[in-house]
Every structure is written in structure tokens, then in C-alpha cells.
Amino acid sequence: MSDKGDEAGRIARLRVLAEKARVEAEALVDRARRNKGLLGRAMEAIDRDAEIGGNILAGALAYRLFIFALPLSLFLISALGVLAHVFAFDVETVAEHLGLAGAVTSQVADTGKPSSTIWVALGSFMVLVYVTRVLFRTVVVVHALVWHNPVGMMKRDLGGFSYFGAAIFGQLALVGVIGAVRAQSPIGGVVALGAFVAVDAALWLMVSLHVPRVEEVRWTDLVPGAVLYAIGVVGIQAFNTYILGILLESKASTYGSLGAAAAVLLSFFLLGRVMVGAAVLDATHAARRARADLDADGPDDLGREIRPGSSGR
């Protein structure tokens, strides 16, 4: 009986300790949420991301990005093939400077070897325009969910779509320039990398201004997300160069095209996480700024409060 009593007592003490640890953890989290600095902002962003299902949205974006990459790769192969015949340069060397697009291009090239003709380039470009528009609509829906804002007519906004397409192909051009500069000079590559972060942040800021958001939000409230996106893209580019490329070379013979597709999807998922994270950071920053303005102006100034459901255009 004493052994059973001792065991029951130990279990009871463990339960008490576990309950005490839970209460202390909840109190610690509550204090972190009330923090007015970076910690509180991070906790609010995490809560918002969990509320909207950030990982699920990132998976949806990864799927759309994968579908987008296929016609993009075909277009690059055919277009670069035509240009290679005209200007006599090596297609594989150019593709290596395109980061993830180059990795997908090499995979498609190894399996399909499409004829590099102007007709293939034109046909793949038409498909690329369509899938880019589908990707833009997905980005619009993601931002609408993050900002708790209705999509409205923005999925059919040709102006926003044009800015989005320009940002994508501008980013591809930037990646190519960075690769070319880095190949010529390591120091020049470091300088060009800093310029890439600045320009890429400006491109994503342009996109953020043409997707759903709250109308009271200033463009400066969207800068943190743009900077996060640019830094995240640099990190993903490093992952593609130093990890994904090795995986594609070493695992292609072991797992075949399925393994290569899984590695590419992982990279796209990381990019989707960065895109969702940038939107969440912007929404969190704007909400905290609005609350700070209300606290500073007093309870009578209710017109400046960020109201979900208003259009960002």
C-alpha cells in the first residue's frame, strides 16, 4: 500500500509541477504579447500567421510557383536557344546564373530537349502569361486573407497584374546580373548583392501596393515586408545554389525526376513562406502603428483606426 501511495504522491507532484510550468509559460507568452517592442511584434505576427494558416497558404503558393516554373523553363530554353544561335553563347552557362529557374531549366532540358525555335518560344510565352496571371490571383487571395480584406475586383486588375509580372521578370533579370557580376569579381558580387536586396525590396513594395490591403495603410507600412521578402529571396537563392543544386545532381540518379521535383517544391515552399511572412509582417506593423496613433491622439479620433474589409486601392 505504501508503494502505491508513494507512486500516487509522485504522480500528483508531477501534475502540480506540470500545471505550474504551464501557467508560467502562458504568463510569459502573455507578457511577450504585451511587449511594445520587437518581441511583441514578433508574437503578434506569429499569432496572425497561425490564424490564417500560413503553412497552408505557403503550400498553395508553392504549387502555383511550380506550375509557373514549367512554362517559364520551356520559354527560357527556347528563347535562350534562339539567342544562342544568333549571338553564339553557351545556354547552360547563362542558365546557371538564373538560380532556381536555372535548376528547373536544366531538369526540363535533360528530359525534354525541346527544339529551340521562335514558335516554341512564342507558344510557351502565351502559356507563361496565363500561369503568371493565375499566380497573381493566388497572391491576391493570400494578401486578402492576411489583411482580413475582401478580394473584390483585384483578381481581375490588369494594372496590378502588369506590375506583378514586371516584378517577377525584373527579379529574374536581377538574379542573372548578380550571377554574372559574381562570376567576374567576388567583391563586385558582394556589392551587387546589396543592390539586389534594395531593388528587389522596391519591386515587392510595388507589388504590395497593388494587392488587397487596408485603405488607411501608408506605403511606408509596407516597407518591412518588402525588406523581409528581399532578404528571404537572397537566403533561398543561397539555398538553391549551395544545397538544392547539389541535391539535384546527387539524387537525380537515385530518386529520378520525383526526387528532383520534391527538392524544387521544397524551395518553392520556402519562397511561399517568405511571401506569406512578408504580408503578415506588413499587416502586423500597420495594425500596431494604427493602435499607437489612436493611443497618441486619444479615444475620440476613431477615423484613423484600421478597419478590416476596406479596399487598399
Q: Which amino acid is at 55?
A: N
Number of Cβ within a 10 Å radius of residue 291:
13
Collect all residues with Cβ–Cβ distance below 8 Å to 139 and sequence separation of at least 6.
61, 164, 207, 211, 275
Note the pLDDT tens digit of each residue in 243-296.
Answer: 777 766 766 666 666 777 777 888 899 999 999 999 999 988 888 777 776 766
Question: Of residues 23 and 111, which shows the higher confidence score?
Answer: 23
pLDDT over 50 (residue 99)? no
Q: Are 72 and 128 in contact (CB under 8 A)?
A: yes
Q: According to the 3-state scheme, what is the secondary structure of 270-292?
A: HHHHHHHHHHHHHHHHHHHHHHH
Note the pLDDT of residue 305: 45
Domain boundary assignment for the chain? 54-297
Q: What is the dihedral of CA 188, 191, 194, 198, to 10 degrees?
A: -90
Whether the pTM exceeds 0.95: the reply is no
Note the pLDDT of residue 29: 62
Q: Which has the closest alpha carbon to 97: 6, 185, 177, 199?
A: 177
Where on the phi/psi map is residue 211: left (φ > 0), alpha (ψ -120 to 50), or beta? Answer: beta
